[in-house]
Structure 1
Amino acid sequence: MTPVASLADVSKRYGATTALHPTSIDLQTGVIGLLGPNGAGKTTLLRLLSTALPPSAGRIEVSGQEVTGGHAARVEARRRIGYTPQEVVFPRGMTAFGFLDYIAVLKEWKESGARHAEVRRVLALVDLGDRGSMKVAKLSGGQRRRLAIAQALIGAPELLILDEPTTGLDPEQRASLRGLLSGAAGTVLISTHQTEDVAALCDRVIVLDGGRVRFDGSVPELLATATARVHIGPTASVGAVQTWKTGTGLVRSVGGQPAPDSSVVDPSVEDAYLLLRAEQRFAEGVTP
């Protein structure tokens, strides 16, 4: 299957700092989660894919267009991309409908009837259908976040790129967004710190750390790396990566040597991620 987007030996440097080491990734249809600590290079990777940032080296293709090859191909690719950055600045004084209409014009929706219908469609998708006439400044933080996602949905893009989309959303809104994204056509790439969103939504997970891909596979494959390595009991495991007391009063331990009175529990995506990070730090000689 031809990938919707691909990176071939793509890297990005800022002066003497390498934010992304040479990376090759193919993105197929489906929902893909991007995990990693702050400073791992996640936002750099998203900005490269969205064409908001040029790479220092390597080739990027989106929907058959080599965006690193020239202006015309980059413009064609942008017509097929929806992007919500982590921080969105809204024009002052606009209504929710007016903002989306403005974005639709920028995306070359010239016929007003079709454009306005599309604006109403994406407002409804993010549960803001009754907020179109409200000034953006009057919307809550969660509503503004959903409006930012709505602008990326205009035109049903082949590649949807979302940087921390659930920030500021309550549990019900997050669940609604999961339902929306799970039914989206094309490829959805989500950078998030919410490991439960990855477990609930994603077909594939990529872990980025230190500007390098540390894991790329399915959620079950990630979970398999932590099989029989998570325990719960009255006391913590010796040498555990992380431990915490649960609501039952028992201690959950990720990694380490389990106490005799502990029992094995199924790992979560967070458990597997914590173990992967700890092993990477150990391999690099980094003291926790």
Structure 2
Amino acid sequence: MSIDKSRWMSLAYGSNMAIADIPMCQFPLPGSHDAGSYGGINVKSKTQHYSIAEQLAIGVRYFDFRVRVDNGVFFSHHGSDESRDNPYTAMTKDPNTTYLFDEIVTFLRANQEEVVLICFQDFTSVWNQSFTEQDAADFLSCLKRDFGGVPANDDLLYIPGGMPTYGKCIETNQRALAIINDKAFPGTNDGWYFDWSQYLRDRFSDYKYWLHSWSTLIDDTLADQQNYLVDTGSDGRDLDLFWVSQAILGYSNVTTPNGESQNKDGASHLNSVFTAAYKDWWKGQSAIQGVTQAVQKPNVLLLDYSGVYDDFATDCYNLLTGSA
């Protein structure tokens, strides 16, 4: 079934009104790993093919952002490599510059039943600077300004008061949920974002890619992710928290001509396996052949090169409407 991926949440809601009661930490969401690492960034650090606006249009609803600052301008980076042509925002905006926050706001204004999670994982600075408390205050000021509205009660930014359901986000029109890694952020939460340490658990299955064959890498990562979803203890999946699977990192065991380390060829192999597994997990069943286990629902599946090979937004739509 082909759907308009830019409106997949709205379409699912229209087909199944019961999804209004699903907490956002249990909603199936396509995620974008290092979402701003495209365009003018060193090819070895490039993780996405599409711009933020294009990622929204193909259904991405969770964005993994890494923030770097230079004199009041906040832009994307991946490790030591920067994407200065992909600024999130700035204290003083250049009218000739496209800002990533503005792309998200424009999309949300045009699509009234879509919800976006923006997760800020780390905060760094350019050479000879540091990400200071003042930078943190400026960043929050920009975040609230950019996602605000006129009148003031038209803010798109969700003000945390517990984990919202999809329906609450729609009802209040607070459809941008910000999550900040409070262990890396030098600022103080003034009530406008979710603290990572309190609201999010991620699972990155690090099996040392260069030590594995392609098949054992996939098998071991799949098993590790599933064991995490099966575990109901303190180290397992907590259904009251956002949960992000960071297994899908698009590495390949082959050398590509342009030297990309996180490449589209690698992502195509991983995506096909893990998107299928995700659908089994969301239904509460094992994704491993010959293994019978009850599995808790996952939340965000984090993808490199989101949408290049897979239509995961349609998969999420089908899960919500019972079509999968």
Higher relative contact order (CA 8 A, sep 6+): 2
TM-score normalised according to structure 1 size = 0.30
Structure holding more strand per residue: 1
